[in-house]
Amino acid sequence: MGEKLSNKQGSIMIVGVGGQGTLLASRLIGNILMENGYDVKVSEVHGMSQRGGSVVTYVRYGDQVASPVINRGEADIILAFERLEAARWLSSLKKGGTLIVSDQRIDPMPVIMGAAEYPEGILEAIRAKGVDVISADAIELATQAGSSKAANVVLIGMLSNLMPFSESEWKAVIDRTVPPKFLEINEKAFALGRAIAAR
Amino acid sequence: MKRLMLGNEAVARGLYEAGCRFVSSYPGTPSTEITEFAAKYPEVYAEWAPNEKVAVESAIGASIAGARAFAAMKHVGANVAADPIFTVAYSGVSGGLVIAVADDPGMHSSQNEQDSRHYAEAAKIPMLEPSDSTECRDYAKLAFELSEEYDTPIFLRLVTRIAHSQSIVELQDRADIPMKEYVKNPQKYVMAPANAKRRHPFVEDRLARMAQWAEDCALNRIEWGDRKIGIIASGACYQYAREVMGDRASYLKLGLVFPLPTELIKTFAAGVDKLYVIEELDDVLETHCRKLGIEVTGKSLFPLVDEFSQELVREKLLGELPDAIEFDAPVPVRPPVLCPGCPHRGFFYTAAKLKLTVLGDIGCYTLGSGAPLSAMDTTICMGASISSLHGFNKMKPETKNRTIAVIGDSTFAHSGITGLVNIVYNQSASTVVILDNSITGMTGHQQNPTTGQTLQGDPTYAINLEELCHAVGIKRVRVEDPYNLKAMETILKEELAVDEPSVIIARRPCALLKTVKHHPPRVVNRDACKACKVCFKIGCPAITWKDGKSHVDETLCVGCGLCAQVCPFGAIEEGKGA
């Protein structure tokens, strides 16, 4: 499977801020895995965490998946929609795992209020720990594609390089998952993301 | 056809395939989506009830009428519905009756961590607990058959990690289950003492028969692996144990968590060297084993609190800790907050400014308790704001002119009305604020009796809150937009000053509703901004600090203009296109 992910089993974690579209991302990954014959579990938390709080979604696949969640040191890949969330969930990453991150900052309320500081140099600090970090400004690329809301699909494009599915398979799953009127934007967003990580 | 389905969606699929005809629920995380997905099947009548008690009673009526019927709720909803639940256990059913209760270990979105298995035991109602989406579908279907065969309601217990996890389900067809004939049978359905006395022995006998069935039913199974370690578990805990131990342990996987088998457990215990019970929250399985005289390790090793995980199981059973990469600097928490443009923000700003004591309730507006608004003193349960304000004011009348209750429109319809009746009946000069945002917000936009739409979005009668308050005897009812800060402040002062009950309806629809028009993002005039940070007091996530001045994040701002109202220097201007 790809360069990074085992074709036997894997754990992908999607982290971000409530409202960023992490659920669509997990559905796309879950669906492409199921269609390729894997057992899949996707775990998400709804409710309170949607209101601008920290959100996390787990995708696990293999011959037979037991637990739907990913704990510390277990994720092959973390797909982070925001830098601080990448730092928050870094401990979930397996040694030798990959962090794909949108180079974006969203201040949480304690930072806005001046009660806490947003750490500087998050991605540099993570790289210094030997983590393979792939980063891009997914919002900027999504805006190029036609809507900043498609940042989730830009990140899926970045992830797609580490998985063994063809561009047409990804396009097919995007076709089936996103509403038709946003299809063109999402296809562009996917292509821009896929181009990034391939460098 | 195979589908990746949320546990809740799979329960809804099970209802459909089982020929269920009637669904009534009140939304509550993590149970909400069951009813939303059920409503997508035209063959199933589905509705939002005003509360869980009404939902269960409606489902009881549908069952007695002869239909397979269902109600879903979160764990605390079962407290509201407990009254009918305990007695329908006696009367039994005609059409199958299934009640889903979704627990929230870890309290992702709840005010307590109660374990619903106690309800099964206390009400003497059998309880099934699935461990993935396929089991959610299968158990929902089986529950209807058991309900009709044993003449009992059946509980379907979920936890957040099963309800909100997707796994693969192979779809099946809907069964054609005809309505049963209605036959008047007061000995069975009129639970007056004489009849109930005859039904109670039936209930005990039914449980004994189900306990016998539990011994060899397909729901409970032994999976032999290495026999040095034996694990008894159900639901999500079974999956965590499987994840860690694989074939290095043997399992007794329980799908029927009440009543529990006896001989099956003894057989399993005798077949392993060391026996563990892994169960989230309370020691229900463990206590059962101990009553049988079986030596078992459970809560001496595993906590009574919080959600479990494979990491916890690995640490407790194998003593292995994760090899994790840690981020060195402190990572600020990111608590959920009121959304940009949220109508509640305007109200809580005013309440905080007037330094009011605020008895709160359950909903998005509970977030008004967080900094910087910090405008809430209590939150207990649905409806408690109004009732506890009455008690508070009766005992502390000297502070009644600075004490209020706040409750949302949906929560008011759920269980606020009776509290208001009490205020009128027993005359406390209390001021109740209904935060009417025209939707049930926190659970993700469900309709309710005040919104004028059904679960399916069809038009229906909208209960008029003003008329309702008048009808129960509130003479002073005021309506104001919470974003009109000056007017709201004046009204609050006036109503708190009077010596009689009053209601203020703070009315503005949720900013996330599709029908709400957003305005262009606000812009800070950097020359006019004096960096006083007054705009930070409203706690809007769209307002940030940039190069020594306030800044509005244009990707988050919906142009509500609340910040402009509080800025003493008029530095926050309307955006382009306004």
Name A198's Cβ contacts closer than 8 Å, sequence gap at least 6. A161
Contacting residues of A for B165, CB less than 8 Å apart: 41-44, 68
**pLDDT, tens digit, 9 for 90 and up, residues B33-79:** 999 999 999 999 999 999 999 999 999 999 999 999 999 999 999 99
> Using CB atoms within 10 A of its CB, is residue B303 exposed (0-12), middle (13-18) or buried (19+)?
exposed
What share of chain B in percent tops pLDDT 90?
A: 98
- Please write down the HEC assignment for all residues of B509-545: CCCCCCCCCCCCCCEECCCCCCCCCHHHHHCCCCEEE
Size of interface A-B (CB pairs under 8 A): 185
Do B133 and B168 meet the contact criterion of CB atoms below 8 Å apart?
Answer: yes
Question: Cβ(B102)–Cβ(B158) under 8 Å?
Answer: yes
Question: What is the structure's pLDDT at B223?
Answer: 98
Give pairs for A137-145: CB < 8 Å, separation 24+.
A137/A102, A137/A103, A137/A104, A138/A81, A138/A102, A138/A103, A138/A104, A138/A193, A139/A102, A139/A104, A139/B555, A141/A189, A141/A192, A141/A193, A141/A196, A142/A189, A142/A192, A144/A188, A144/A192, A145/A185, A145/A186, A145/A188, A145/A189, A145/A192
Q: How would you list the strands of the sheet with B502-507, edge to edge?
A: B357-359, B403-408, B431-436, B502-507, B476-480
Average confidence (pLDDT) over B94-104: 98
CB contact under 8 A, A41 and B165: yes
For residue A199, the tally of other CB atoms under 10 A from its CB is 7
**Averaged pLDDT for residues B107-115:** 95
Closest C-alpha to B433, from B368, B525, B527, B374: B368
What is the spatial distance between Cα B23 and Cα B20, in angstroms, rounded to a whole number?
Answer: 8
A42 at B interface, C-beta within 8 A: yes
CB atoms within 10 A of CB B53: 22
Judged on CB neighbours under 10 Å (0-12, 13-18, 19+), A160 is buried
- Cα separation, B449 vs B451, in Å, equals 6
What pLDDT sits at residue A18? 85
Largest CA distance in chain B: 82
Candidate from A34, A67, A92 with C-beta closest to B239 = A67
B18 contact partners, CB below 8 Å, separation of at least 6: B68, B96, B140, B141, B143, B144, B145, B175, B177
Structure tokens at A27: 């559905």
Indicate the residue type of B387: S
Question: Considering only CB atoms, which chain B residues are within 8 Å of A54?
Answer: 333-334
Take residue A135 and report the two structure tokens written for it: 């980063």
Query: Kindly report the CA angle at B105 between B103 and B109, in degrees rounded to 5?
Result: 80
Whether B93 shows a pLDDT value over 60: the answer reads yes
Each residue's pLDDT tens digit, B400-440? 999 999 999 999 999 999 999 999 999 999 999 999 999 99
From residue B327, give the alpha-carbon distance in Å to each of A91, A93, B281, B324, B331.
7, 11, 31, 10, 8
> Would an 8 Å CB–CB cutoff place A77 in contact with chain B?
no
Mean pLDDT of B323-330: 95
Give the span between the Cα atoms of B332 and B354, in whole angstroms: 30
The token pair at A7 is 């074709």
* pLDDT over 70 (residue B356): yes
Q: Residues of chain B with pLDDT > 70: what percent?
A: 100
Name the residue facing B337 among A30, A52, A119 (closest C-beta).
A52
Element (H, E) at B232: strand B229-233
C-beta atoms of B371 and A44 within 8 A? no
Per-residue pLDDT tens digits for B221-236? 999 999 999 999 999 9
Regarding an ipTM greater than 0.85, the answer is yes
For range A154-161, the mean pLDDT = 96
Taking the alpha carbons of A166, A56, B160, B283 in that order, is the dihedral positive or negative? positive
State which residue of chain B sits closest to A147, comparing Cα positions.
B555
- pLDDT(B139) > 70: yes
Interface of A with B in 112-151 (CB under 8 A): 112-119, 122, 125-126, 129, 131, 139, 148
Query: Sign of the CA dihedral B522, B528, B533, B535?
Result: negative
Residue A115 has pLDDT above 50, yes or no: yes
Looking at beta carbons, which residues of chain A come within 8 Å of B323? 73, 95
pLDDT of residue A47: 60
Q: What is the per-residue pLDDT for A1?
A: 43
Confidence of residue A21 (pLDDT cuts 50, 70, 90): confident
Least confident range from A52-56, B95-99, B483-487, B500-504: namely A52-56
Closest CA to A159 of A78, A42, A94, A95: A78
Phi, psi values for residue B476, rounded to 5°: -100, 105
Q: What is the pLDDT of residue A4?
A: 65
Residue among B109, B328, B544 whose CB faces A112 most closely: B544
Q: What is the pLDDT of residue A6?
A: 75
Per DSSP, helices labelled H in B381-426 are 384-395, 409-411, 417-425
Half-sphere exposure of A132 (CA within 13 A, CB side): 14
* Whether A45 and B160 lie within 8 Å, measured CB to CB: yes
Half-sphere exposure of residue A55, counting CA atoms within 13 Å on the CB side?
28
Query: Counting beta carbons within 10 angstroms of the beta carbon of residue B32, is it exposed (0 to 12), middle (13 to 18) or buried (19 or more)?
Result: buried
Q: Average model confidence (pLDDT) for chain B?
A: 97
Name A43's bridge partners. A58, B165
Which residues in chain B touch residue A76, judged by CB atoms under 8 angstroms apart? none
CB A108 within 8 A of CB B332: yes
Instruction: Give A4 to chain B, closest Cα distance, Å.
Output: 18
Please state, rounded to an integer, the average pLDDT across all residues of chain A.
92
Q: Is B384 helix (H, G, I), strand (E, B) or coil?
A: helix
Q: Is A103 helix (H, G, I), strand (E, B) or coil?
A: coil
What pLDDT is recorded for position A50?
62
Mean pLDDT of the region B367-394: 97
Q: What is the pLDDT of residue B38?
A: 98
- How do strand B476-480 and strand B502-507 relate by DSSP bridges? parallel
CA angle B19, B84, B144 (to 5 degrees): 20
Q: How confident is the model at residue A29 (pLDDT cuts 50, 70, 90)?
A: very high
Mean pLDDT, residues A67-74: 98
In this complex, do A47 and B372 lie within 8 Å of one another by their Cβ atoms? no
Strand B97-103 with B69-74, pairing: parallel
The answer to whether B447 touches B439, Cβ cutoff 8 Å, is yes
Q: How far is A1 from chain B (nearest CA, A)?
A: 21
Distances (CA, A) of B343 to A17, A23, B135, B349: 21, 26, 41, 11
Nearest-CA residue of chain B relative to A97? Answer: B325
Handedness of CA A103, A109, A113, A115 (dihedral sign): negative
Q: How far is A175 from chain B (nearest CA, A)?
A: 16
Nearest chain A residue to B363 by CA distance is: A48
* pLDDT reading at A198 higher than 80: no
Predicted confidence (pLDDT) per residue in B451-508, tens digit: 999 999 999 999 999 999 999 999 999 999 999 999 999 999 999 999 999 999 999 9
Do the chains contact at A71 and B309, CB–CB below 8 Å?
A: yes
The total of other beta-carbon atoms located within 10 Å of residue B268's CB is 24
Would you state the pLDDT for residue A3? Answer: 53
Best of A24, A31, A50 to substitute, by most chain B Cβ atoms within 10 angstroms, is: A50
Task: Measure CB to CB from residue A43 to each of B165, B367, B539 and give the nearest one.
Answer: B165
Neighbours of A117 (CB within 10 A): 11
Angstrom CA distances, B158 to B103, B116, B163, B540, stand at 6, 9, 6, 35
Distance from CA of A196 to the nearest CA of B (A): 24
Q: What is the pLDDT of residues B182-212, one digit of tens each?
A: 999 999 999 999 999 999 999 999 999 999 9
B491–chain A nearest CA distance, Å: 29
